[in-house]
Amino acid sequence: MEQGTTELGTKVNGNAVATTLAADWGLDDAVRSELIIIPKMLCMQKTSKLCDDEASEIRPGFLVDSVSHKVLTEKDASVEVVPLTFNETWELYDISGGTPKWVGSEPLTAANASSPWLYDEDGQKFRRDMTINMFVLLKSEVLAAADPKASPVDGLFPYQISFSRTSHRAGKVIATQFALAQQLGQPAARYVFAISTEKKSGDDNTWYVFNAKKVGILTDAELGECREWYKTIKAGKNIKVDDSEHEHVVRHDIGDITGAPEF
């Protein structure tokens, strides 16, 4: 077979036939980076619209892809991820109407890290939520990419997990590993974390929060598969993260909407 071609197996009248396709078929379509959306890994709540449909199999406590709505894991289970990099933001909510309404975000820096949780603006009441936004890869996809015998259909693609309010501690568990990895001269992506959910309750309300636990390490070959996405996200150019959660999720994973979160 000529270089630059690929053989695919198909069947004609029950007989296997090798079909040769040019490897550059479809590879000449220019895709601007602005068109690429990184999905979030969402923790479903009882108020999530994805849980409203009685025919839906999605339930509170599930972890779901915000774009495809694919269930990544059910409650009482976990999904293993590889952390790439992270940033911190203040997520801003209008709480003057009783139910928190997301109005935007701003970078969290050393200069504004001590900003008050609650503040007034033009007579309206607002709240800031300190948030760790972690970019991760699924371990299963990393292993498939590193396996020369595997034929990944979708390839490697990152997720963002936003750890805020009562989930903030889980983000700190992973962020701490970044500091430890630096001491060892290792990328944080060397380490694997299991992400799960836990049910919490308070103020006559129940909600689910993220949990994170270190569960393993990657081989050199597996770690090498993570490098390109790390470089792309770290460069930060034209990286768009799906924010549709603010359209179909009411944030009731927070307990008291006016109080400081648990850390």
Distance CA 261, CA 1 (A): 62
Neighbours of 99 (CB within 10 A): 13
pLDDT tens readout for residues 146-159: 998 877 667 899 99
pLDDT tens readout for residues 90-131: 999 999 987 889 999 999 999 999 999 999 999 999 999 999
Residue 133, helix vs strand vs coil: strand
Distance CA 203, CA 86 (A): 32
User: Could you tell me the two tokens for 91?
Assistant: 């997520």
- Cβ distance 168 to 175 under 8 Å? no
Helix (H) or strand (E) holding 146: helix 139-146
What's the mean pLDDT when you consider all of the chain?
Answer: 84
pLDDT tens readout for residues 183-231: 999 999 999 999 999 999 887 789 999 999 999 999 999 999 999 999 9
The pTM is what? 0.82
- Answer whether residue 35 shows pLDDT above 80: no
Residue 247 — very low, low, confident or very high, per pLDDT cuts 50/70/90?
low
- Answer whether residue 1 shows pLDDT above 60: no
Give the pLDDT of residue 225: 95
Neighbours of 35 (CB within 10 A): 9
Give the pLDDT of residue 241: 92
User: Could you tell me the two tokens for 132?
Assistant: 């760790």
